[in-house]
Structure 1
Amino acid sequence: MGRKGGHKRRFKNKNNQGQDGYKKFKGDDGYNEWYYDHPIFEAYYKLQLEEAYFKEKPEEFTLFWNMMKEKLPVVFRINKLTPNYQVFLDNLKDKDFIKKFIEEKRKQLEQQGKAPTEGQQQKEQEGEAIEEEEQEAEKEAEEQQNEDEGNGEGEEEEDDEDEADQKEGDDKKGENNTKTFEKFEFSQEEIDTLQINNIKFYPDELVWQINCNRTQLKKSQLLKEFHKYIQRANDSGLISRQELVSMLPPLLLDVKPDDIIFDMCAAPGSKTAQLLELMYTQGGINTKGAVVANDVDQKRAYLLTHQVCRINPSGLVVINHPAQFFPTLQDPTSNQAYDQKFYFDKVQADVPCSGDGATRKIPTQWRNWNTRDGQVLHPLQLAILQRALTLCKVGGYVLYSTCSINPIEDEAVITEAFRRASQGSIELIDIHTKFPELKGRRGLSKWTVCSSTKKHPGHDQEKKETVADWLKIYDNFESIEKNDKLAQFVRDSMFPEPEDKMTNEIKIQNTMRILPHDQDTGGFYLALIKKNSLINWSKKGLPKTAGSNNEEQSAQQQQEQPAQQQVVDDYIPDASEIPKEAESLQNVEGDAQDGKKNNKNKEPVQKENFVTIPEEDWQNIKENYGIEGIDQSLFVVNTIGKQKVVRLITEGAKKFNDCDVKGVVNKVNMGTKAFERSRETFQGIQCRFRICQDSVNLIAPYMSKRKIVVSEDDFKFFVQNKNAKYTEMPNQKLKEEIAQLGQGSIILHCPTYNDNLVCQNFHQSVNIMISKEITESFKIRYLKQLF
């Protein structure tokens, strides 16, 4: 979940002073030193982690803390659903692929007489830098104007790595008008050591890591073409650039083809896409499951659709709701007389968090970190987890995760859920045995609740103060003094249970922490919870909040709500349980804090209403394309608008849609484009709808008309020629076969590759009806095109 933006300002004035007034120092890599230095931040995590993880090797804390300051290596995952993806995979298996790629590009430029001299390269780089600076300055001015005018819309969402790239570039600009390119460039000797390495714990050799960071890949002149190659593969859906640790939640859920999964905080969609990839890898065209991807922000929900649709999933449902308030749905098909509620098979709760484990991706954490952020988000995270457990079926699983290493957002949330749930109704699954090659730390059984007494102290004060001056520690909730302003967001739910209960009853050690220095990743926390029975939630009223009169608060709670009231498996939090300040703290892909979130745009997205395709249109499609063996009810149209698009959904998506009996779900999108109404200007076309490339591989097996089997060579010919004239076709027999079909949409099916191309047949030519991005994917996979 998350949005782009929020950390783009340099906080710079004419005297080169930060907002707090202390001088900023330029680091070797272009960042200011204070981004990588926050003594209160460091003291807090030394207090929380040192005894549990570094007691025997105190020097290891230094390794951990130094790694928090390093940039992340580039990681991506191959989409196994893409036909003939093995061509791309085979390239990666060559340890010298990057080196060979660069050498091949150099030869190509030399043959074309375009190889630039060293001086020309430097001049081009400087010109690009100036142009980039000007564009970024214009963009920032425009964004500032939008903020001033009250435009509450966030910036456009991108995938994990692109978003981080943009933030890094934005954070480094404005220092002066001169760029030093040498620090981004590689020598030939360094290029010889560049490799793409397989991540062993991820199955089927699908995840790969380049031993350089994003900035080097994007800014190095020598790697510029290779970066374009990776970008083309990403844009087409052949790969997904995603942080390694964020790939763990979908893996741990053990996705099945028939599962209906709720992704509660889904934007920007990388984990959603991964869930669908895992689902379809097992089920193929027979997949019946669905992933219901939700986000609280309506614009992010729309952008999520764009992100995930690169893999063309019919099992996708995108909705727009606050996760903790997702409504209870009714299941008309339930055979349980005592319970007619709709339940999900599995739930992924990658909750909003402070993102202090994401310093390697979002370096502004070094300035903005504060204990307050985790405390403010704690009740929201708890509410989302309780709602997740409520919506999950008995025997199902909930995966809770954050990009925070703060126990207040991690173990404390899990502990309080166990306090409130009826005994034995939930249990923590030991996930440390799932991936032997993955190094994960056991969850903490004890931690310290404390508040920072000030923000970043600045360089001048760094060596003059002690931990005691920076952090106020609370032994227990009862010890907090009345009207302690520092503790205004501290709650009784943040404190641990006695250690024996934490380990023997709750079994908090079954949860997992990923620390950056263990395998060169970001920081992450994961907990897999199994629901054993319907949950009797202990509804004790609002958690006690420090900094107020607790006696008066408790008395008021007892009057408003009896302490022992039980609510059977139907928990929806009271809005007053969540601080308003939590609304301004959002995250990027479940990680990075966004302290400048604008929440003026509160109106929910217009509800989309998806219904089965009208009978007349279905008969027209069915007869023209010879479709048999697939249920009409899986083709839906949106009643809002002119019904131009027919979408294919799965049985799981249909069930979810049917269970919204009262129409309370804010639906944004469903399934994948199957057919689109043809333009009336096309004369001689019999079918009113043309086939869409998005779902052609799912529909083609059920088609008996307007589908032509072609050879490998013919398939490659059409990939190379987007607009192929009849006179240019090398295969005379194929040309005659195409001409006999008449005008309209056709499919070229290649059995060797088990892949299909959607074309539009005209009087004298055949046009490939696929996007530029998908065309690039075809060229990479079938023409082995590198450039």
Structure 2
Amino acid sequence: MRKHMPPTRAPDGSRGTAMRHPRHKRKRPTADAATAAAAEHEVHPLADPARPIPNLACADRFEEYYRAQLGRLGVTGSEWTRFIKTLHAPLPVTFRVQPVGIGTLGDECRRSFDALQAAGGLPEVTPLPWCSSFAVEISKEALKTSHEPALAGLQTWLSKWGALGACTRQAIESMVPVALLKVEPDHVCLDMCASPGSKTTQAIEALYAGGAATGRGFMVANDASPTRCQMLLRRCAALGEMSERLLITCHPAQSLPWLPRLDASAEAEATAVGGEAGRYPAGCFDRIICDVPCSGDGTTRKNPSIWHRWSQEYALEMHPLQLQIAMRGLALLKVGGLLCYSTCSLNPLENEAVVAALLKRCAGAVEIVDCSRELPELHRAPGLTSWTVMDDALQEHESHAALQRSTALPAALKRRFVPSLWPPDPKEAKRKLHLDRCLRLLPHLANMGGFF
């Protein structure tokens, strides 16, 4: 998203809390003991035998829900089978190497990997030049437990160069936000929910493009958890001298304070934006990574436990917090700056619904940037312009008003459905909001996890 004029209203800075478990207990269908016992031993036809699914009811609801949502993108028939089958398969091992020109360490790392490949015995290796990365067609579990010399050598290589900071284990889809933001040496950048830090290190490397840092750019990496900040600190410490351009903060992302400006024109710019100094302070970041907390249901390839605990109600819990964090990010963004909103969820309630609400609240102050020509090597699907709002029993609700009139749900659950969950008018969604410009990374299109 690009900010091209100041917002016309102050962002909602109220705090939000992400709940781990839904408060509303689902009503389970009645079944006799024999049927229930048989269901426990039933095997999912597409599940990896090494990663069985103990709760098929959740997996069935997952498939029914996304068959309805993604059918609007043409994911039906044989393509649906490919999609769901890929979601059950483990991810390949992927890693990012420091781009050429940053320093000698990255170049040595590349030469070392070339020698490892030349020795033979590795599975198929796919270079990904758009993100300075490689994909090895083997799962991390198989790599970790293998006793083959070539694979043991790869595991040793990843550990060695990862500790030196020249190589970072990172999923392909996770590299996309920073690649789209096109960070430059002069940019002041923010990662709002940074831990464990792979996107942060990717952005820092971009600040050093061409060798030693020549601009005034730096990176602020934030996380709300002190424990996760320690993890972030350890990950970034491996970058050595490049970490001198890094500031780590521990603060709720939805209420991050403004960064003090380094130039003398800050007060004048703030006055120009809001009509009086301090009312609407000028943005302070050129690039913002807004990878918000989410239900994570696009990560089944990495976290197969999602199959037996999936619930639509997780999206209801996440939506308000995601909207608060993204609104705060836009408030901190400079006019002309870029913010990338992303999740590892497939759910439109956490993705397009949040983006649509942002655009409506900002009333023309921001727009979705057309990235259709960016990263042409990356296979993707467009964003949804319409979707269905359902409860956890997969009952559709046409509108917020209709749901509030319904007697099928308890009042406590009704309160968790907010109006911004519902899609805008179809013509507005495509012609005015341009929700189709969003990028959906579907697993079967590029052998990756689900991402938005």
Counterpart position of 1:640: none
Residue aligned with 1:201, SS: helix
Q: Is 1:276 matched up with 2:198?
A: no
Q: What is the alpha-carbon distance in structure 2 between the residues aligned to residue 496 and residue 269 of structure 1?
A: 33
Q: What is the alpha-carbon distance in structure 1 between the residues aligned to residue 398 and residue 55 of structure 2?
A: 31
2:87/2:301 contact within 8 Å kept: yes
Change (3 A) 1:45 1:426: same
2:127/2:135 contact within 8 Å kept: yes
Change (3 A) 1:28 1:64: closer
Q: What is the alpha-carbon distance in structure 1 between the residues aligned to residue 431 and residue 373 of structure 2?
A: 19
Match of 2:324 among 360, 383, 393: 383
Q: What is the alpha-carbon distance in structure 2 between the residues aligned to residue 353 and residue 88 of structure 1?
A: 34
Counterpart position of 1:441: 381
Shift of 1:236: 1.5
Shift of 1:100: 2.0
- 1:639-682 Cα distance to aligned partner (Å, 9 max, x none): xxxxxxxxxxxxxxxxxxxxxxxxxxxxxxxxxxxxxxxxxxxx
Q: What is the alpha-carbon distance in structure 2 between the residues aligned to residue 50 and residue 482 of structure 1?
A: 27
Q: Is 1:496 matched up with 2:426?
A: no
Residue aligned with 2:193, SS: coil
2:40/2:55 contact within 8 Å kept: no
Change (3 A) 1:212 1:359: same
Counterpart position of 2:133: 207
The letter of the residue matching 2:127 is: N
User: Following superposition of structure 1 onto structure 2, how do residues 698-737 of structure 1 map, counting pairs within 5 Å?
Assistant: none
Counterpart position of 2:253: 323
Q: What is the alpha-carbon distance in structure 1 between the residues aligned to residue 327 and residue 385 of structure 2?
A: 21
1:74/1:214 contact within 8 Å kept: yes
Shift of 1:419: 1.4
Match of 1:365 among 281, 306, 314: 306
Counterpart position of 1:404: 345
> Which consecutive residues of structure 2, in runs of 5 or more, have no partner in the other structure?
1-19, 22-32
1:25/1:33 contact within 8 Å kept: no
Counterpart position of 1:23: 40
2:185/2:213 contact within 8 Å kept: no
The letter of the residue matching 2:449 is: G
Q: What is the alpha-carbon distance in structure 2 between the residues aligned to residue 397 and residue 450 of structure 1?
A: 32
Q: Is 1:69 matched up with 2:9?
A: no
> Which consecutive residues of structure 1, in runs of 5 or more, have no partner in the other structure?
1-5, 8-16, 102-190, 454-470, 526-787
Shift of 1:228: 1.5
Change (3 A) 1:302 1:287: farther
Counterpart position of 1:426: 366
Q: Percent identity among equivalent residues?
A: 31
More strand by proportion, 1 or 2? 1
Q: Is 1:478 matched up with 2:407?
A: no
Counterpart position of 2:10: none
Match of 2:126 among 197, 204, 207: 197
Shift of 1:475: 0.9
Residue aligned with 2:248, SS: strand
- 1:223-261 Cα distance to aligned partner (Å, 9 max, x none): 223312221111221200000000011111110111111
Shift of 1:213: 1.1
Counterpart position of 1:770: none
Residue aligned with 1:34, SS: coil
User: Following superposition of structure 1 onto structure 2, how do residues 506-655 of structure 1 map, counting pairs within 5 Å?
Assistant: 506-525=433-452
Change (3 A) 1:402 1:28: closer
The letter of the residue matching 1:394 is: V
Q: What is the alpha-carbon distance in structure 2 between the residues aligned to residue 437 and residue 315 of structure 1?
A: 31
Q: Size of the alignment, in residue pairs?
A: 394
User: Following superposition of structure 1 onto structure 2, how do residues 210-289 of structure 1 map, counting pairs within 5 Å?
Assistant: 210-222=136-148, 223-282=151-210, 284-289=212-217
- 1:386-428 Cα distance to aligned partner (Å, 9 max, x none): 1111110111111100000100000000001111112x21110
Shift of 1:297: 0.4
2:109/2:167 contact within 8 Å kept: no
Counterpart position of 1:34: 54
Residue aligned with 1:284, SS: coil
Q: What is the alpha-carbon distance in structure 1 between the residues aligned to residue 337 and residue 251 of structure 2?
A: 22
The letter of the residue matching 2:166 is: L
Counterpart position of 1:761: none
Q: What is the alpha-carbon distance in structure 2 between the residues aligned to residue 285 and residue 328 of structure 1?
A: 24
Q: What is the alpha-carbon distance in structure 2 between the residues aligned to residue 345 and residue 420 of structure 1?
A: 21
2:73/2:384 contact within 8 Å kept: yes
Q: What is the alpha-carbon distance in structure 1 between the residues aligned to residue 211 and residue 117 of structure 2?
A: 34
1:451/1:487 contact within 8 Å kept: no
The letter of the residue matching 1:77 is: R
TM-score, normalised to structure 2, is 0.82
Shift of 1:277: 0.4
1:67/1:517 contact within 8 Å kept: yes
- 1:435-471 Cα distance to aligned partner (Å, 9 max, x none): 1111111000000000122xxxxxxxxxxxxxxxxx1
TM-score, normalised to structure 1, is 0.48
Residue aligned with 2:342, SS: strand
Structure number, greater radius of gyration: 1
Q: What is the alpha-carbon distance in structure 2 between the residues aligned to residue 35 and residue 63 of structure 1?
A: 22
